[in-house]
């Protein structure tokens, strides 16, 4: 009897793993033909050669760009160089990317920046929040931006047991932010198992000096996060589920789901068009090419605009699409006064006039 039970459980387990493996293969190997959609006036940004994973643009037109991300399973063209934060002034005639100096007291060699977010205080002080992966861990670094010196002053490193495998961040106040956890496990083998089994164990957390808590959970792989212009809604990209969750934000910082927008492509970082409130999503149309990188057949790039987010029928249109011949593995797009910057996991960055 005991052997029968063991065999039954084993058989059911193998059947479940087989079913999940087939589903994962279908989800990851699905690769769409990319029809090129490119604004006429686009050029690669000089100096950004090793990724531009996240971009945040201030209302003044100053754009912060995180570069040099080292992420398990992803290519990196400069593995021995630390990450950097670059700045571009989009008000200039021919804006250039400039690496920001970081104050002493911060271990610059350990900078491995992922998602970033800016916060402007009441006295107009600009703070930059950076998801960092020093030695493949996860911290949030808070910097003060010194505009005249074009530098960052390190203020604080935030660590917490819930800040594991952090992907992206959106700052909403002094030391107040939401952050996404994209994997439950941290070892590469277990992450692969998690992706195959699709456990839906990842979450969004809220952090403040007084309280740290999970405010939304059940995501396949919570990735990009941003907030609506009126700060009533939070938008969360579930990358492997290929969708965006529209969440209502409550006074106690909890989030409740309003709806899910399915996009049929791997959704990475999200930003908001400050003029319209539309969501811009950096996407990966070729998942397998991203995971199994071949420079002769690279992963493409795709940027979507989602309009009328709260309506019954949101409108989705493509702002940019390329098969990888110009830009590989797009992660983010951010706009300012008719200018769009597109970033990537490990490749270059693109400047476009819309």
Which residues make up each annotated binding site for Ca(2+)?
53-54, 116, 167-168, 223, 268-269
Residues annotated within the binding site are 53-54, 116, 167-168, 223, 268-269
Helix then strand then coil, in percent of the chain rounded to 5, is 15, 45, 40
Q: What are phi and psi of 13, to 5 degrees?
A: -65, -45
Q: Which residues contact 251 (CB under 8 A, 6 or more apart)?
A: none
- Asked if 116 and 85 count as a contact pair (C-beta separation under 8 A), the reply is yes
Give yes or no: 114 in active site: yes
Q: Determine contact, residues 203/219, Cβ cutoff 8 Å.
A: yes
DSSP result, 226-249: EE-TTSSEEEEEETTTTEEEEEEE
**Do 20 and 198 contact (CB within 8 A), yes or no?**
yes
Q: Give the integer Cα–Cα distance in Å for 202 and 220.
A: 6
- Among the listed residues 114, 183, 245, 347, the single catalytic one is 114
Residues with Cβ < 8 Å from 229, sequence gap 6 or more? 272, 274, 277
CA angle 174, 178, 181 (to 5 degrees): 140
Which residues are part of the catalytic machinery? 114
């Amino acid at each position: 009897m005991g052997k029968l039970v063991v065999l039954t459980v084993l058989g059911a387990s193998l059947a479940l793993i087989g079913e999940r493996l087939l589903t994962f293969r279908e989800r990851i190997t699905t690769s769409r033909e990319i029809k090129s959609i490119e604004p006429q006036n686009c050029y690669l940004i000089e100096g950004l050669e090793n990724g531009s994973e996240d971009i945040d643009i201030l209302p003044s037109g100053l754009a912060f760009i995180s570069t040099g991300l080292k992420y398990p399973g992803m290519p990196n063209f400069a593995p021995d160089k630390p990450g950097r934060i670059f700045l571009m002034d989009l008000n200039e005639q021919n804006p250039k990317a400039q690496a920001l100096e970081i104050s002493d007291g911060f271990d610059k060699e350990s900078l491995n920046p992922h998602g970033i977010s800016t916060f402007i205080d009441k006295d107009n002080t600009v703070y930059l929040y950076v998801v960092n992966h020093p030695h493949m861990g996860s911290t949030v670094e808070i910097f003060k931006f010194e505009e005249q010196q074009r530098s960052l002053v390190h203020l604080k490193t935030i660590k917490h047991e819930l800040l594991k495998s952090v992907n992206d961040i959106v700052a909403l106040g002094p030391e107040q932010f939401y952050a996404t956890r994209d994997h439950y496990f941290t070892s590469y083998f277990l992450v692969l198992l998690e992706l195959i089994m699709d456990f839906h164990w990842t979450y969004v957390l809220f952090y403040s000096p007084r309280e740290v808590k999970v405010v939304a959970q059940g995501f396949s792989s919570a990735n990009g996060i941003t907030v609506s212009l009126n700060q009533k809604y939070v938008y969360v990209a579930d990358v492997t589920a290929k969708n965006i969750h529209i969440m209502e934000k409550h006074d106690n910082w909890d989030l409740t789901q309003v709806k899910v927008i399915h996009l049929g492509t791997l959704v990475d970082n999200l930003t908001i068009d400050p003029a319209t409130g539309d969501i811009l999503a950096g996407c990966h149309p070729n998942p397998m090419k991203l995971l199994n990188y071949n420079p002769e057949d690279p992963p493409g790039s795709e940027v979507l605009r989602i309009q009328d987010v709260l309506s019954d029928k949101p409108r989705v249109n493509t702002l940019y699409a390329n098969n990888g011949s110009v830009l590989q593995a797009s992660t983010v797009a951010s706009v300012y006064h008719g200018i769009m910057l597109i970033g990537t996991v490990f490749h270059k960055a693109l400047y476009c006039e819309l």
